[in-house]
Amino acid sequence: MLLLGWTLGACSAFKDVDETKGWSAAKLYSEAKSNLGDRNYDQAIKYYQKLEARYPYGRFAQQAQIEVAYAHYKQAEPALAVAAADRFIKMHPNHPNVDYVYYLKGLANFNEDLGIMGFLSGQDQSERDPKAAVESFDSFKELVARYPQSKYAPDALERMRYLVNALAAHEVHVARYYLKRGANIAAANRAQFALKTYPNAPANEEGLVILVKAYDALGMNDLRDDAERIMKKNFPKSVYLRGGGPGNTSWWRPWTW
């Protein structure tokens, strides 16, 4: 029994040995990078964290902080990725690669489910929380404002356009939801918000339609006529102006939609 206890204790002690003991910063970084390339993200993060703890100064530690954020992003852990990115930005605001960290922060929250994948999944847009999309937009916007010459700026701008359209579509969808249930004031307010906040979004065509319908239902004829005038000016070839739209009904008659 004593021999067995000694053997088990020895095995336990053996297991507790840190294989990275004595590794240099370069060795830790190399192993972390290798695991990152092999998509062993958990192991890569552990090596990066050991590297930063043992060698907190120098280029390896700084690069480790960036790649930890990237590993969390690839692990679909946006909150951890954003936290790591924010930490790096705070610690190294003048780092030559800080523009990439802003870009990565935007990617972490970028959610394509607001687009076509959301419709394929059958999820109701009004049930989704647009918070992540707003935060993604803000990160890309900060990148473009601070580093307009960054090589990541063009892609950030494209993603910002996508997010604007997605967020506007979300607001219009909610406005349509209210309109169909007779909550005309709420529908008008939501449509107005979309028009003012995202003035160039394609969804504004339907947003104006909803605004006209809501004002018409509320008996606000002057506001209805103003919305209709703006509709005709900005979307002269709109399908709604030709009597089309959902169900091919007269778009200006709310009781037929």
What local confidence, expressed as pLDDT, does residue 58 receive?
A: 86
Query: For residue 84, which of 112, 57, 48, 116 has the smallest C-alpha distance?
Result: 48
180 in a structural domain: no
Give the pLDDT band of residue 72 (cuts 50, 70, 90).
very high
Contact between 214 and 185 (Cβ < 8 Å): yes
34 in a structural domain: yes
Q: Indicate the pTM of the whole model.
A: 0.75
Residue 34: CATH number of its domain: 1.25.40
- Where in the sequence is the domain holding 65, given as residue range(s)? 24-87
55 in a structural domain: yes
What local confidence, expressed as pLDDT, does residue 121 receive?
A: 52
User: What percentage of the chain exceeds 70 in pLDDT?
Assistant: 81
Mean pLDDT is highest, among 92-96, 108-112, 127-131, for 92-96
Q: How far apart are CA 175 and CA 169, in angstroms?
A: 10
What local confidence, expressed as pLDDT, does residue 6 receive?
A: 54
19 in a structural domain: no
Residue 79: how many CB atoms within 10 A of its CB? 11
Residue 196, CA distances (Å) to 115, 134, 204 in order: 21, 16, 10
Among 26-35, 58-67, 126-135, the minimum mean pLDDT is found in 126-135
48 in a structural domain: yes
- ∠ Cα 165 241 119 (to 5°): 35
* AA letter at 70: Y
119 in a structural domain: no
pLDDT digit string, tens, across residues 5-26: 555 554 544 555 778 888 999 9
Per the structure, how many domains does the chain have? Answer: 1
Among 33-37, 70-74, 167-171, the minimum mean pLDDT is found in 167-171
pLDDT digit string, tens, across residues 237-252: 888 776 655 444 343 3
What local confidence, expressed as pLDDT, does residue 245 receive?
A: 55
pLDDT of residue 48 exceeding 60: yes
As a whole number, mean pLDDT of residues 172-199 equals 94
Is residue 53 classed exposed, middle or buried when 0-12, 13-18 and 19+ CB atoms within 10 A define those classes? exposed
249 in a structural domain: no
What local confidence, expressed as pLDDT, does residue 15 receive?
A: 52
pLDDT of residue 98 exceeding 70: yes
What local confidence, expressed as pLDDT, does residue 75 receive?
A: 92
* AA letter at 29: Y
What local confidence, expressed as pLDDT, does residue 196 receive?
A: 94
Average pLDDT, the chain: 84
pLDDT digit string, tens, across residues 60-71: 999 999 999 999
pLDDT of residue 177 exceeding 50: yes
225 in a structural domain: no
Residues 6+ apart with CB under 8 A from 232: 241
What local confidence, expressed as pLDDT, does residue 10 receive?
A: 47
As a whole number, mean pLDDT of residues 161-185 equals 92
Is residue 76 classed exposed, middle or buried when 0-12, 13-18 and 19+ CB atoms within 10 A define those classes? exposed
Which has the higher per-residue pLDDT, 16 or 30?
Answer: 30
